[in-house]
A and B are shown apart, each in its own frame.
Chain A
């Protein structure tokens, strides 16, 4: 398929349409405005529906409604707006409603800064709403990866009947890169996906007490609520097989960069530069930040490795907490951080890696 030059946000939207997304509701917030704007032009062309909600809160609930009625649906926002969506996301998780949403994250906390950041890691991976539910969280490092992960996200969501989060940042969202777009699902395929959800979708059923559609984001009976959480936990455990990670020159490394998203991409370029200088540097870049690829860190040769460098655009560091769990104290962990909308500098990463190697 021909490569096209696309902006990250627009590429994510196009990938969603190609995956069969036929409903999008969103609310303006920088730096993700190109996603709703693109959907507003594109969805009518394929018989889909775009709604500009009155708020992030309303938008995610429109998606909850559309997805409850069986349509592949999506919303997007950026950090403060994602916080507002947490109510609806929690309801979708509780009611086991498949939906996809994207966080083109920016500086925080509060209104933060409109520039790119990775300040939402804990929120994305640990507590995206009340109630302790979990989601698959996919973190692209290129526009191509954003496309591929968005396309796959709808399948994961439908398979599990659970929300899936695309955790990108303002760099991925606003950068233009050449991409290969996935195949467009035909109208028949899109209709078949919707048809497959008919038994549980809230669309009207024959009068039948047992088989009515009953979308339940909670339970009156404590035993039923516990059972629902036990079933959900089974699903979370099944994600071990879905872990995606880039392990780059890790085996002989004296220093390993651990980073995700755009920081991971910058980290990889550092590996290439320093390897040319004969320095043994590697990279572990989780693509699924939840489930987290803890086992990848077992591939490090700790008799050679002098240290791990956690690189992230967040102060305080957040991703490092998962790295600590994975490393289990087998070598020291340094950090290379920036925040506030500043983009990670490659020079700063090189300097921090050199410090580890020269130890």
Chain B
């Protein structure tokens, strides 16, 4: 019989994921691993993990990784890539990491056109610390630090990182995808592949923003979380290629 699918070797076989049921971190990290294998890049991979649930991968992935201080992944990746241009350097960051505490590092790395890849997980909430408000939290969406929900007059509006970075001249590729349907999972995988290829081609800064769920902190079961993505998240964060040069 022909083998048509097997688990990516880039996730350690003896490790059990600590992610919550319905969490899409495990989906995305699987896609990254598959892309690394398909593009024969595992031996070049240097991953910079953010702080928060995104950092949980450190124990599961089988390729090189560093954990950056909260928000600083793009700065750490800058130092790595500049001194080792042959490595495939990518960051893996959540919305609190990339778009709040790390805003300066994220924007500045994009503005310099650093030849790195950013995988940005947008689930509209802080996961590991227990559901606090993120820069991407939707208006009206409850968070443990916004018990009445996000109020525009008090908290401002959700930040659209792809569109914000699109104001800069240097970035090569800005795309927003999701993992809420099988078709979108495939699109996400293709986007990661393209972002890595851009780095190999020396095109500069690429970012894949992936709209995902956080069933635990959203207070929804995994299936209802998919519905929430479709009905609430995607109208606020429309999918598609924002920049491709």
Which residues of A approach B to under 8 Å, CB–CB? 22-23, 25, 49, 51, 53-55, 57-59, 61-71, 73, 87-88, 91, 95, 202-209, 212-218, 220
Q: Does B43 interact with chain A (Cβ within 8 Å)?
A: yes
Q: Does B66 interact with chain A (Cβ within 8 Å)?
A: yes
Q: How many A-B residue pairs have CB under 8 A?
A: 147
**Are B48's CB and A207's CB within 8 A?**
no
Q: Does B175 interact with chain A (Cβ within 8 Å)?
A: no
Per the bound structure, the CA–CA distance linking A214 and B69 in Å amounts to 15
Per the bound structure, the CA–CA distance linking A70 and B69 in Å amounts to 19
**Are B58's CB and A216's CB within 8 A?**
yes
Q: Tell me the minimal C-beta distance from B13 to chain A in angstroms.
A: 8
A-B contact pairs, 17 of them (CB 8 A): A53-B75, A54-B107, A59-B75, A61-B76, A64-B66, A65-B66, A65-B78, A65-B80, A65-B83, A91-B68, A203-B46, A203-B87, A204-B42, A204-B43, A204-B88, A207-B42, A218-B67
Question: With A61-B75, A65-B77 given, is the CB distance from A51 to B82 under 8 Å?
Answer: yes
Q: Does B155 interact with chain A (Cβ within 8 Å)?
A: no
Which residues of chain B are near A67, meaning CB under 8 Å? Answer: 79
Per the bound structure, the CA–CA distance linking A67 and B68 in Å amounts to 13
Q: Tell me the minimal C-beta distance from B35 to chain A in angstroms.
A: 14
CB nearest to A217 among chain B residues: B67
**Are B108's CB and A203's CB within 8 A?**
no
Q: Tell me the minimal C-beta distance from B209 to chain A in angstroms.
A: 21
Q: Does B9 interact with chain A (Cβ within 8 Å)?
A: yes
Q: Does B59 interact with chain A (Cβ within 8 Å)?
A: yes
Per the bound structure, the CA–CA distance linking A58 and B112 in Å amounts to 13
Question: With A87-B69, A213-B64 given, is the CB distance from A69 to B84 under 8 Å?
Answer: yes
Contact with A along B79-101 (1 / 0, CB 8 A): 11111101110000000000000
**Are B72's CB and A57's CB within 8 A?**
yes
Per the bound structure, the CA–CA distance linking A209 and B64 in Å amounts to 10
B75's contact among A65, A70, A216, by CB below 8 Å, is which? A65
**Are A54's CB and B104's CB within 8 A?**
yes
**Are B62's CB and A212's CB within 8 A?**
yes
**Are A88's CB and B72's CB within 8 A?**
yes
**Are A209's CB and B62's CB within 8 A?**
yes
**Are B79's CB and A204's CB within 8 A?**
no
**Are B78's CB and A62's CB within 8 A?**
yes
**Are B84's CB and A214's CB within 8 A?**
no
A-B complex: 5 closest residue pairs judged by Cβ atoms:
A65-B79, A66-B79, A65-B76, A61-B75, A62-B79
Q: Does B234 interact with chain A (Cβ within 8 Å)?
A: no
Which residues of B approach A to under 8 Å, CB–CB? 9-10, 12-14, 42-46, 48, 58-59, 61-69, 72, 75-84, 86-88, 104-105, 107-108
**Are A202's CB and B80's CB within 8 A?**
yes
Which residues of chain B are near A25, meaning CB under 8 Å? Answer: 78-79
**Are A212's CB and B79's CB within 8 A?**
no
Question: With A66-B79, A67-B79, A202-B80 given, is the CB distance from A207 to B64 under 8 Å?
Answer: no
Which residues of chain A are near B82, meaning CB under 8 Å? Answer: 23, 49, 51, 62, 66
**Are A66's CB and B83's CB within 8 A?**
yes
Most chain A CB inside 10 Å of its own CB: which residue of B44, B62, B75, B84? B75
**Are A55's CB and B104's CB within 8 A?**
yes
**Are B79's CB and A69's CB within 8 A?**
yes
Question: With A214-B58, A215-B65, A216-B67 given, is the CB distance from A209 to B76 under 8 Å?
Answer: no
B63's contact among A57, A70, A212, by CB below 8 Å, is which? A212
Which residues of chain B are near A64, meaning CB under 8 Å? Answer: 66, 68-69, 72, 75-76, 79
Most chain A CB inside 10 Å of its own CB: which residue of B12, B79, B81? B79
**Are B83's CB and A71's CB within 8 A?**
yes
Further contacts, 9 of them, CB under 8 A, given A49-B83, A63-B79 = A54-B104, A54-B108, A58-B72, A61-B72, A203-B80, A204-B64, A207-B10, A209-B14, A212-B63
Q: Tell me the minimal C-beta distance from B129 to chain A in angstroms.
A: 15
CB nearest to B42 among chain A residues: A207
Per the bound structure, the CA–CA distance linking A204 and B108 in Å amounts to 25
Per the bound structure, the CA–CA distance linking A87 and B83 in Å amounts to 22
Q: Tell me the minimal C-beta distance from B39 to chain A in angstroms.
A: 13
Per the bound structure, the CA–CA distance linking A209 and B12 in Å amounts to 7
Which residues of chain A are near B79, meaning CB under 8 Å? Answer: 23, 25, 51, 61-69, 73
B80's contact among A22, A69, A208, by CB below 8 Å, is which? A69
Per the bound structure, the CA–CA distance linking A65 and B80 in Å amounts to 5
**Are B64's CB and A70's CB within 8 A?**
no
Question: With A63-B79, A209-B12 given, is the CB distance from A68 to B66 under 8 Å?
Answer: yes
Q: Tell me the minimal C-beta distance from A17 to chain B in angstroms.
A: 15
Which residues of chain A are near B86, meaning CB under 8 Å? Answer: 203-204
Which residues of chain A are near B12, meaning CB under 8 Å? Answer: 209
A202's contact among B42, B65, B105, B107, by CB below 8 Å, is which? B65
Q: Tell me the minimal C-beta distance from B34 to chain A in angstroms.
A: 13
Q: Tell me the minimal C-beta distance from B215 to chain A in angstroms.
A: 23
CB nearest to B18 among chain A residues: A220
Per the bound structure, the CA–CA distance linking A294 and B175 in Å amounts to 60
Per the bound structure, the CA–CA distance linking A212 and B189 in Å amounts to 24
**Are A204's CB and B44's CB within 8 A?**
yes
Which residues of chain B are near A62, meaning CB under 8 Å? Answer: 75-76, 78-79, 82
CB nearest to B114 among chain A residues: A51
Which residues of chain B are near A71, meaning CB under 8 Å? Answer: 83-84
Which residues of chain A are near B58, meaning CB under 8 Å? Answer: 214, 216
Per the bound structure, the CA–CA distance linking A23 and B82 in Å amounts to 9
Q: Tell me the minimal C-beta distance from A261 to chain B in angstroms.
A: 30
Per the bound structure, the CA–CA distance linking A209 and B77 in Å amounts to 22
Which residues of chain A are near B13, meaning CB under 8 Å? Answer: 209
